[in-house]
Chain A
């Protein structure tokens, strides 16, 4: 302890303290012990070894793999390489270090005559594209880094102090590089160079190889942009803008494409954990209320003394579930995850039926029945279900009406109905009497809304109108909330 106190004030410890603060702000639970462990750990690691340093911090501070990405981002911001060569303004880029890289590049391409050409400004877009192609062809890492640097400098159009996020620059850079075109070129080349015709398998392997190199390049470009932004705006400001929510906190409605991908990866282990937990709960929660009659009967053998209390086994309630999901644009992702989760634990229910709607309604249960692959089934739901009646804008009133006409007979006192949607009805008639009827016939009616509570009943949202007839209306914006709802349901 005293060592640490004595050492405070050293820039390293200040940096670490800020780093850990930022991790906490990003939502990672870092305890005091872990903090001390990290301080202890870095003493044993040579500081100039950046990778080892990262793993030392990671091993002591991050105890959940899904938090690793958030950790990595913060780490990159706090401990990225900094210096004048990462200055955001283009002029500084052409200085000495720029030339070094240029020379390195020239040597790499084997076109020595260009090495004297100087800074990045001198390179034409064609030259850059050729260099990119070469770098990917060979998988040369140093060269890819240099290309990334050049590309960012040329295409991102970064200006000091401009309050734009990193994704904007990334988009601008990638758009100019036309990586899909490069991939096609690489594949053509691979086909041509092969001694004999490439089999589909070989072609596929080649393509995967190039794809992984391209992904590598993208990461490199992202890192380059981040470095420049950090140099421009300072560590704290950047850490805040780049802060990424943990997978379980990502908002369904505003998830980016990458985040969607991450969510899809996160959902599988989540469902597995949920299933295990529920099965366990069922096995262990065996204490029912006292069975009075049974106890009395057994007391006869003790002369009427109730020496052996008997308990009733609780009958595990296995509800029938009907999921009625809005799959129009904005809430589609939410419906998809809910279906995924419900089907993954369908063994906990006696029966699951699912319906999807936009302004018409269709039953999609068969999609899930034949297949073991839930992701595939969800995909078929999105492409094959017949859910459009008039114009393909959400009409809850009509959809519910259709549901009630066709399936009212199947709803009984064991059924739990889940309605998923934001209840943005485009000012159609609400037909909320149907929900009221549902509640009379069914065991429970729950409404899950992926919008934040403060948006409810604003604009064309009429969730309140339906909500009064439901047993509960829940905000379900991220995996965490969804998981806890489904767990309570089973």
Chain B
């Protein structure tokens, strides 16, 4: 897949994604389209305990069909990263993860030359009379290349899912690193030429929306907003993820969490916090949540003192009188 210098014919080939050479083991037929239908995606994800709604399953399905990356946005703790993991697990692919942070650069995300090895090589050659051109060709070859997640995902021969986590943490300039790989599934290395994809990986980018991503990045992706689940889905998630929980307790947990999310809080409880809370209740042997119990354990759901105070006040008796027309209806 590596070529000496960019050559137009090769490049064209890289774009013709449907003309990829078939591999002998017959997995390719499945590889072309991983999923048969939206429903299939949904069931597949349910098998690995990820309960997707219509929208999520639909976008994953489309990502496969259109061979485009998915940009997943939404509040923290709604299962954005888990989605990528679950898709990998469901399709039996390897997950390659690139965690983004401020200051991430090319050498951490794409590739790096192993310059120590290159130096050694040059020194080893010193006695023999090899031309400089030869040495140069030699030291800028595959053997001296350290692959980082993005390049690794491109060059992998087995099926992979690439997860670029919290992409909003990198600076706008660094975002540009991703553009080539996202639109053309290739990486250009000046010394070697363009490396095209062995197979098109499924790519997920997640963002907590702390800043606006660039238009160029958004344009290349399908967009998926994952919000807090609705009542039924949340209950189903609790039932699936918390062993030994009774149906009625799960129902109550989901209802209480929904009511809490309707308050104006600094940070609404996430799905993972709901699960933690449900687990705690099961451990404590609670059959039925009452106001007192909720007040004592609400610190698992909420992480700010002002939020906790607000929720406790809401659910104790005096909160009731204000439900309509009281200070709570600041909306009016």
Contacts and interface: CB of A to CB of B under 8 A. Distances in A.
Contacts of A52: 38, 54, 58
- Give the bracket for the number of chain B residues in contact with chain A: 35 or more
A58 B255 CA distance: 29
Contacts of A371: 306
Contacts of A203: 320
B73 interface: yes
A59 B58 contact: yes
A209 interface: yes
Interface stretch (A28-36, A293-301, A346-354): A28-36
B46 to A, nearest CB: 17
B297 to A, nearest CB: 13
Interface of A: 29, 31, 33-34, 37, 40-41, 44-45, 49, 51-52, 55-56, 58-60, 62-65, 68, 180, 199-201, 203-205, 207-209, 212, 257, 260-261, 264, 269, 272-273, 276-277, 280, 371-373, 375, 379
Interface string B225-258: 1000001000000000000000000001001101
Interface of B: 38, 54-55, 58-59, 61-62, 65-66, 68, 70-71, 73-74, 171, 209-212, 215, 218-225, 231, 252, 255-256, 258-259, 262, 264, 266, 289-291, 294, 304, 306, 314-317, 319-320, 323-324, 327, 330-332
Contacts of B222: 37, 59-60
A37 B211 contact: no
Given A63-B219, A371-B306, A41 B225 contact: no
A53 to B, nearest CB: 9
B215 A41 contact: no
Contacts of A200: 291, 315-317, 319-320
A44 B219 contact: no
A136 to B, nearest CB: 16
Contacts of B54: 51-52, 55
B210 A273 contact: yes
A29 B327 CA distance: 39
B331 A201 contact: no
B316 A59 contact: no
* Residue in B62, B289, B306, B319 whose Cβ sees the most chain A Cβ within 10 Å: B62
Given A44-B66, A56-B58, A201 B315 contact: yes
Given A208-B259, A209-B255, A55 B55 contact: yes
5 contacts: A29-B215, A59-B70, A59-B224, A64-B218, A371-B306
B264 A56 contact: no
A151 to B, nearest CB: 22
Contacts of B327: 379
DSSP class of A's interface residues: helix, strand, loop or mixed? helix
Contact of A204 (B212, B221, B320, B332): B320
Contacts of A277: 211
Contact of A34 (B71, B219, B264, B323): B219
Nearest to B332: A257
A440 B211 CA distance: 38
Nearest to A32: B219
B314 A204 contact: yes
Contact of A205 (B218, B259, B317): B259
A146 B294 CA distance: 38
Given A55-B55, A62-B223, A208 B66 contact: no
A205 B320 contact: no
* Residue in A37, A63, A199 whose Cβ sees the most chain B Cβ within 10 Å: A63
Contacts of A34: 219
A205 B59 CA distance: 33
B330 A379 contact: yes
Given A65-B209, A205-B259, 8 more contacts: A41-B62, A44-B65, A68-B225, A200-B317, A205-B252, A208-B259, A276-B210, A372-B266
B325 to A, nearest CB: 10
Given A29-B215, A63-B219, A200-B319, A373 B331 contact: no
A59 B223 contact: yes
B215 A204 contact: no
A315 B218 CA distance: 36
Given A260-B331, A379-B327, A44 B225 contact: no
A257 B68 CA distance: 39
Contact of B255 (A59, A205, A269): A205
Contact of A207 (B252, B266, B323): B323
Contacts of B224: 59
Contact of B210 (A63, A257, A272, A375): A272
* Residue in A204, A212, A379 whose Cβ sees the most chain B Cβ within 10 Å: A204
B277 to A, nearest CB: 15
A156 to B, nearest CB: 24
A422 B41 CA distance: 55
A481 B324 CA distance: 34
B62 A56 contact: yes
B62 A373 contact: no
* Residue in A41, A212, A371 whose Cβ sees the most chain B Cβ within 10 Å: A41
A280 B62 CA distance: 36
A138 B212 CA distance: 43
Contacts of B231: 212
